[in-house]
A and B are shown apart, each in its own frame.
Chain A
């Protein structure tokens, strides 16, 4: 895959570049701030852009803002945001259209999972960090659509949000893959999601509770 990497820490940028190269990917540009990121993507649209949330020039959420702009400029471009901490607000808008991921930086140390997520996102899937998902799934309000889900369904949705396939979920929860599929159907029903393409519905499911949690 052809990847553009935007990360201001040289150490982290080089480490990640090496991991991606070793994973068989091609890092076509590794930049240090939001402006360079926009230029790099405009110049040569990659298969996926991996973006640090906190970057120069303001060192607040320049990366997230650049990602939102890129989504408008290049609607189909898959993007993976990396952050030092959980910032749910950043994920809400972007997760809706699929091909979007949001992970804590230290997830890159679980190399295999990380590369899987990158591939999954590049293919149009969504991947949210387990910590983000957990924060989103914690019940706070009655009447919340999430409260209608059973414990098991919630566990499944959690893994869906992390970008796992049904097979991966089945093995993680030691269930039959058919059971996972049954749970998925129940979830789609309870969240009142329209009967469309499977991948799209999974994204919508994740989006449904992200929306329900962050307003």
Chain B
């Protein structure tokens, strides 16, 4: 069966249902309004009108979703009872003055034909909501259903006892077997029929348990109304055993099966989430409870006040109304809550979990950032995402601070007044789920808001740190470039210029005035070159090119006091290299200038990508964060490191830098 052909077959099934319905109604009309007159006109009209909605809905559903067999099942939901009625009317004409042709056969057939009343309903239960059987084992259920119905129909129709009208048998087609046998046959076929019917209802429950959120929502509607059918059917049989006219349950049964079921199904299929059964139910219950309680309070108050100041007094009525309002004001939300809990237990459980989390956050037992995890657990959605909108920003970020674009159809926007706080993205969802998420988010507003502010703070700090690191790196690169430019550019050119002057000088008389002036000029050039060299050295010591070890060895070479230097031969990035060098230089200068040290120890170590620099002296100690150390701290902090200073008075100074 191809996907193309499936809808066509279903459309044909719907059309067949409509034709069967029209044909049956035509037959019933002929019997009712003709000379045979099996039942009253009003009965016929009522029964027909009751059936029309199912037919209309069946056609509508087939129109809207042709691939869904529910439309066809709906038409047969009405067509089957219409056919049963037609057969019964045809058979009943036997008892009238003008029996129809074949009335006797129809009379026999109609005795058990009622079993087909449930054909459409059974099909609906088996196929709803998506047209597939709940399981492989249940796929043969329709065949068993037809076999059971045929057998039960045959057993009842062929039982001579059912042919008796006023003690006289009206038909010749009967199997004359011992009563015990026919009773046994009746029981066996009835049980088989009931078993199939029970399995049909069970298949709905199986599908509900296995279904996803949407399927469950759709089935919820069917279960709500269709669940009444077996109850009414069984109830009717029990009532029938006590001799109560079958008419009463028949009407209720038919009304539920033929009116409520199709309406529920149509809503579920066409707009499965149009109305929320739970909330409607909850609100109605709360409304009913409030009304009952307020009426009770009012009545008691009227009675009590009337007792004191006389019945019918206007003061009594006003007082009672006032008292009622006073009592109901605090009572109403509680009633609403308990009704909600009663009807929608899931929602109540969710809200309780969120409330517990909010309390934990408030007491400092949980971090607000866990709110996403809590929402995932509460809504049973592992892929749920909470995206937050930074204050004043327009773009969304996830809980780790990474910019994320909200995608997917199931989004719950979070707002606080006019401010866009963020959005919850569910991996799957119906309107009900989206509303649950919104409810929960409203409860979790405090942690969400705090998480949002913390996120903003973190992002801001990250940005500042990154920009500071960029600045320091840029400054290191720039120093390096300047140093190279001075050496390779200005210095070289000055020396080259000096050489030209010397060359010119060589051609002059050694004792001439010009020769001496050229000497002076070249001397000045040499001075300038020397100054440029010192300048370049201050920008970035050239020896750093050969590594931190070389650079530091050169640095301490000029120290007037002994320096014990431990430096591994590590390769460092330019920015770390220059900064470590200047930090050590600063510490060294401090130790000599302020600490009056006699021995200095410099220790560099690297492990697991972390660099430790220790500069210790035996000076006077007592150092505090002066300008020099502040610049050290700034440089190191920009590289994401830390600086510790131990400098007790009289016991030397130790600066520990971690990178």
Binding site for B on A (CB under 8 A): 9, 11-12, 14-16, 18-19, 22, 54, 59-61, 84-85, 87-89, 104-106, 108-109, 111, 135, 138, 140-142, 213-214
Contact = CB atoms under 8 A, between A and B. Distances in A.
- For A12, A14, A108, A214, the residue with the greatest tally of chain B CB atoms inside 10 Å of its CB is A12
B500 A15 contact: yes
B512 to A, nearest CB: 17
A140 B562 contact: yes
B542 A135 contact: no
A108 B495 contact: yes
Given A22-B503, A85-B487, A89-B550, A106 B496 contact: no
Given A60-B545, A87-B542, A106-B498, A11 B557 contact: no
Contacts of B525: 106, 109
B1 to A, nearest CB: 75
B170 interface: no
Contact of A54 (B488, B493, B543): B488
Contacts of A142: 562
Nearest to A111: B502
B487 A54 contact: yes
Interface secondary structure of B, over-half rule: helix
A19 B546 contact: no
Contacts of A22: 503, 506
B495 A12 contact: yes
Interface string B548-583: 001001101111001100000000000000000000
A85 B467 CA distance: 34
Contacts of A138: 557-558
Nearest to A14: B496
A140 B555 CA distance: 11
B503 A15 contact: yes
A15 B543 CA distance: 27
B562 A11 contact: no
Interface stretch (B157-165, B204-212, B530-538): B530-538
B182 interface: no
B499 A16 contact: yes
B118 interface: no
Contacts of A9: 488, 492, 496
Contacts of B502: 19, 109, 111
A139 to B, nearest CB: 9
Is the contact region of chain A dominated by helix, strand, or loop, or is it mixed? helix
A75 B535 CA distance: 38
Contacts, number: 89
Given A15-B499, A61-B546, A109-B522, A140 B556 contact: yes
Interface residues of B, number: 36
A84 B491 contact: yes
Contacts of A89: 543, 546, 550
Contacts of A88: 554
B541 to A, nearest CB: 9
Contacts of A85: 487, 533, 536-537, 542
A106 B487 contact: no
A11 to B, nearest CB: 4
B529 interface: yes
B506 A11 contact: no
A135 B487 CA distance: 20
B496 A11 contact: yes
Given A105-B492, A138-B557, A18 B545 contact: no
5 contacts: A11-B496, A12-B492, A14-B496, A19-B503, A87-B542
Contacts of A19: 499, 502-503
B617 to A, nearest CB: 15
A142 B562 CA distance: 8
Interface string B466-504: 000000000000000000100110011111101110110
B526 interface: yes
Nearest to A13: B496
Interface string B494-526: 111011101100100000000000000010011
Contact of B529 (A60, A87, A106, A213): A106
Nearest to A52: B492
A94 B576 CA distance: 31
A141 B561 CA distance: 8
A28 B499 CA distance: 20
